[in-house]
Chains A and B, each alone.
Chain A
C-alpha cells in the first residue's frame, strides 16, 4: 500500500476503504489541519453571525500547473475572490477533488501544498472536503470544486446593479496575465514567455477598500471573458453606459506582444487576481490610494466613468482618439490564421 502511494493514484484510492482513508490522512489532513476539519464528521459545524455570503466554483484548468500557480492555488483564490466581491470577509471553504486514476501522487502533494499556502495567505480554513477517483479518461488529471462562506460587514451593499452616472471605474492592475500565461503552455501553442498568472487572493485588498469606502457600489473580478465582459455585465445590470480610455488600462508589454501575435484583445483575456470597482467620484481617489498600498493593487488606475448615455453598452476611447464599442467575448478565444 505504501509503495502505491509513492507512485500514482489508483481507482482503489476512491473506494472508500483503507486506501481512501490513507490518502486523506497522509496527503490532505496534515497540511490542511484545523479544529473544525480535524473532527472528520460528515459535516463541519460552526457558528456565524451576520449577513452571510455563499459561493461555489469548479476548477478544470488545463494544464494543472502553469507559470505563477496551479489548479490548487486557483481553486482557493477563485472562491475567496468570489466571496470578496460581495464585500464579504471569507471564513471557510470546502474542498472537493475528483482525481483521474493515474495522477502522480507527487503532483497531488504539490497541489495540496499550494492549496495550503493560498488558504494561509487568505486566512481561510478548509473545514470539509471529499475525494473521488474516476477511471482514466473520465476526468482530466484533477478537477477541484470549492465552496466558500463569508460574512459581510454591516453597511456594505455591493452589487453589479449599483453603478450610477458619474461614478468612476477603477481597475486593480494589469489585465490578461493569467490567460496569456495559460495559453503559452497549451499544447500546440507553446511560446516562451516570462509572464506569470496573476492568480491571488484579493480579500485583504477588498477589506482595505471597503473600509476606506463602505459605499463602494460594484466589485467584480474579471476572470473568464476578461475586463470587457465584466464591464458589460455592470452596464447591463445597472442599465448605464460605461466609457473607458484604452490608454489608462494597464497592460504588461509581454501580454500586449502576445495578444498582437495571436490576434487577441487583452480586454477579453482572463485574469485571476484583478478586480474592477465602481465608486462615487468623491471616493475614487481615496479608494485608489488605499489600493496602491496593497501588493495586489499597486498598478491600480481609474480607467473610466459611468454615464447615462448608451445604457447597457461599454464604449472605449481608443489610443488614437476615436471611440468604439467593447462587446462581451463571444465563443472561444482563438488565434488568427492569416
Chain B
C-alpha cells in the first residue's frame, strides 16, 4: 500500500511546514473538529512542525466523547433487562456512566457484545431469535448510513428482535452551536474528512459566510493535515475565508448521494444531547415513524423512563471532558488528567475513546 508512504513523506512534510511558517504572520487559532485528526496530529508530532503563530484546539468530533452521560446510562439500564443483548462498538464499553459502565454491567452478568459493524449486530439478532438485540447507535454522518442500512435490512428480512438506540449526531449543527456560543474565537476549522465523504462540502458553507471562519476539509495522513493547515493560513492571511476540500481523493462537494438518501429514508432530524454542550437543536438523528418499531427508545420506553427517574444522570466530579470537547480547555488543564484519570482508570470518555483528546495527549504527549 504505497500511498501511505507518499502521504507520510518527511521531505514533503518539511517543505510544507516551511511554507506554512513562511506565510503565517498573524497569530491564529485553528480547531481540528475530528478526534481522528487530534490523534494523527499528536502521533506524528505535527504541532512541533508548526510555527508559534498557530494555536491548535481539539474539537467535539469524537462520537464516544460527546455521547451524553444520560444516554450512556440508558444503554446500561437496558443491558440489565432480562432477555436483552446489547451490541456496541468497543470504545463505549469502558466509558463510565453516572453509576456504572457497560463493562461493569457485563461483569455483573449483562449480555453485552462488542461488534465491529452494525451488520454483525444484525447477525447476532438472527442467531438469537428469542432475545432482543439492541445496537447502541453512536457516531456522526460516517456511521449513520450503515446503521440506516441495517435498519432497512432488518425490516426487509423481517427480523423482529433487532432494535437501534440512536444517539447519532450531525456535525454542521454542532459547529454552528460552537461558533454561535463564541466561547473561543476561531479563525479556521480543519473539517472532518470521513464525515464529509458522506455529507460533501456544501453543508458547511455557512461557516465562512456567516461566521467568517476558514474551513478546509482534510484527510488523516500527516501531509493531508499539513496541506489543510497551509490552505487555512492562506485563507486567513488573505482575508478570504471559504470552504475548501484538501481531501479530493475522498470528498466530492455533493457528498455520497446514496448514503444520504438511505439516512433520509430511515431517520428524521431531532435535537440531540451533546456532552459538554447540551441539547443542540436539529443535531440528532431519530428513527422515523416508518421504522419506529425498530427504535429501542419506543420499544423499551417504559423501562428507560423509570431508569431515568430512579437514577438521574450526574457528571463525574472534576472531569473536564465537557470543556475539552468544546475546545474550551486542553486535556492538560484538567486536574484529573494523568493522575486520577488515565487510560487504565478513565474518569471521562475523552480518556477512553481512541479518538478522545485526553487519550491522544496521554499516549503521545511530549516527554
Binding site for B on A (CB under 8 A): 188-189, 241, 253, 256-257, 260, 263, 265, 309-310, 313, 315, 318-325, 327, 330-332, 334-338
Contacts and interface: CB of A to CB of B under 8 A. Distances in A.
Contacts of A310: 367
B194 A338 contact: yes
B100 interface: no
B257 interface: no
Contacts of A334: 89-91, 114, 354
A323 B117 CA distance: 34
B45 A337 contact: no
Given A188-B115, A337-B139, A338-B355, 14 more contacts: A188-B120, A320-B10, A320-B13, A321-B13, A321-B49, A323-B367, A324-B42, A324-B45, A325-B365, A335-B90, A335-B116, A336-B355, A337-B90, A338-B35
B135 interface: no
**Which of A256, A315, A331 has most B Cβ within 10 Å?**
A331
Contacts of A260: 1, 4
B311 interface: no
B72 to A, nearest CB: 15
Interface in B101-129: 114-117, 120
A338 B63 contact: yes
A301 B85 CA distance: 48
B194 A327 contact: no
Contacts of B200: none
Interface of B: 1, 4, 8, 10, 13-14, 34-36, 42-49, 62-63, 89-91, 94, 114-117, 120, 138-140, 142-143, 194, 222, 342-344, 354-355, 362-367
Q: Chain A interface mostly helix, strand, loop or mixed? A: loop
Given A310-B367, A338-B63, A257 B1 contact: yes
Contacts of B362: 327
Contacts of B42: 324
A321 B36 CA distance: 20
Nearest first, the 9 closest Cβ-Cβ pairs linking A and B are A322-B45, A334-B90, A322-B48, A330-B343, A257-B1, A337-B89, A324-B364, A320-B13, A188-B120
B354 A263 contact: yes
Contacts of A335: 90, 116
Given A188-B115, A320-B46, A321-B13, A338 B1 contact: no
Contacts of A325: 363-367
Nearest to B354: A336
Contacts of A263: 354
Given A315-B367, A338-B142, A321 B45 contact: yes
**Which of A189, A253, A319 has most B Cβ within 10 Å?**
A319
A158 B13 CA distance: 41
Nearest to B221: A260
Nearest to B12: A320
A334 B4 CA distance: 21
B94 A322 contact: no
11 contacts: A260-B4, A310-B367, A320-B44, A325-B363, A325-B364, A327-B364, A331-B94, A335-B116, A337-B89, A338-B36, A338-B63
**Which of B4, B45, B48, B62 has most A Cβ within 10 Å?**
B45
A170 B14 CA distance: 28
B220 to A, nearest CB: 9
A257 B4 contact: yes
B1 A337 contact: no
**Which of A322, A327, A332, A334 has most B Cβ within 10 Å?**
A322
B10 A321 contact: yes
A78 B91 CA distance: 30
Contacts of B354: 263, 334, 336
Contacts of B49: 320-322
B10 A337 contact: no
Contact of A253 (B1, B117, B143): B1
B59 to A, nearest CB: 13
B360 to A, nearest CB: 10
Contact of B4 (A256, A318, A338): A256
Nearest to B62: A338
A265 B194 CA distance: 20
**Which of B49, B91, B362 has most A Cβ within 10 Å?**
B91
Nearest to B47: A322
A265 B364 CA distance: 12
A254 B194 CA distance: 23
A321 B14 CA distance: 8
Contacts of B364: 324-325, 327
A319 B43 CA distance: 10
**Which of A188, A189, A335 has most B Cβ within 10 Å?**
A188
A322 B47 CA distance: 9
Nearest to A254: B1
Contacts of A253: 1
A188 B121 CA distance: 10
Contacts of B34: 338
A172 B45 CA distance: 27
A313 B366 CA distance: 11
